[in-house]
Structure 1
Amino acid sequence: MKVVPLRLQPGDDLRQALETWMGEQEEQAGCVISAIGSLSVAKLRFAGAAAATTIHGELEIISLSGTLSADGAHLHIAFADSRGAVIGGHLCPGSLVRTTAELVIGLLPEWRFSRELDPATGYAELRITPRAPG
């Protein structure tokens, strides 16, 4: 595993920045190892919901986990509001960094992750394949 630290800036779209960054890497599989920081806007989809919910405020990232591939990401986030109430769900585009997002990403050079529509779930699900030696 290759480990890479990243820092995102205020106003960056957390999900979009990670997807763009992953698309620029030689490796074709990645995962979030660690993430802390804050959001001013969080867009997340709750379990079973069809649409995303938008939350505004001073939000502290408690946890971010998921997989990254050149053709998309699957990320779940938990964050606390200014009262300490924690909420979480599927991270959607439109979640904006407030002050910083400090991330540690693991790149997996021996694997290829891709997203393919799974008829059983109706979602683009993770496909894992060994990467041919280069």
Structure 2
Amino acid sequence: METLPLRLSPGQDLRRALEAALAVEGARAAFVLSGIGSLSGAQLRLAGRERPDTFEGPIEVLTLAGSLSDRESHLHATIALADGRVIGGHVAPGCTVRTTAEVLLGLLPEWEFRRMMDHATGHPELVIRRQPPAATGGEQP
């Protein structure tokens, strides 16, 4: 595992910025090891709901966790609203960084994450595959 510390800037979309960082690194699988920060607005899909709810800031990100892939990500966050209420759910696009977000990713270069429909759950679920080692110039198969 390789670690990638990130500091996101005001105005960045939390989810899209993490997915973009993964793409820059050329990784196909990663986990969020730690994440905190602040948001000016959040889109979280609460348990059992079809669509995300909108929350207006200032908002503190208390926890951020989940898996990232080069195709689909599955992120959860716990946020605190300005009045102290704490809410958690699935991170959707539309979580805008207010002052900063500090995130530590664990890149997994030997692995690939995909999501495929699981008929037992009725949802696209994580499929984990080991990647073959990258070929280097002078090695023979």
TM value normalised by structure 2: 0.89
Fraction of identical pairs, as percent = 50
Match in the other structure for 2:45:
45
1:6 Cα offset (Å): 0.5
Which residue number in structure 2 is paired with residue 54 of structure 1?
54
Match of 1:10 in 2: 10
In structure 1, stretches of 5+ residues that fail to align are none
Structure 2: where are the runs of 5+ without partners? 135-141
Separation in structure 2 between the aligned mates of residue 23 and residue 123 of structure 1, nearest angstrom: 25
**CA–CA distance in structure 2, aligned partners of residues 108 and 64 of structure 1:** 18
Alignment size in residue pairs: 134
**3-state SS of paired residue (1:20):** helix
Query: 2:75 — aligned with what?
Result: 75
Contact 1:23–1:71, Cα closer than 8 Å, also in 2: no
Quote the Cα distance in structure 2 between the aligned partners of 1:123 and 1:20: 25
Query: Following the alignment from structure 1 to structure 2, what is the Cα–Cα distance between the partners of residues 26 and 17?
Result: 14
How far off its partner does 1:18 sit? 1.0
Please give the residue correspondences for 1:1-134 in structure 2 after superposition, counting only pairs within 5 Å. 1-134=1-134
CA drift at 1:19: 1.4
Q: Between Structure 1 and Structure 2, whose CA radius of gyration is higher?
A: 2
Q: After TM superposition, where is structure 1 displaced by more than 4 Å over at least 4 residues in a row?
A: none
Query: Aligned-pair RMSD on alpha carbons?
Result: 1.2
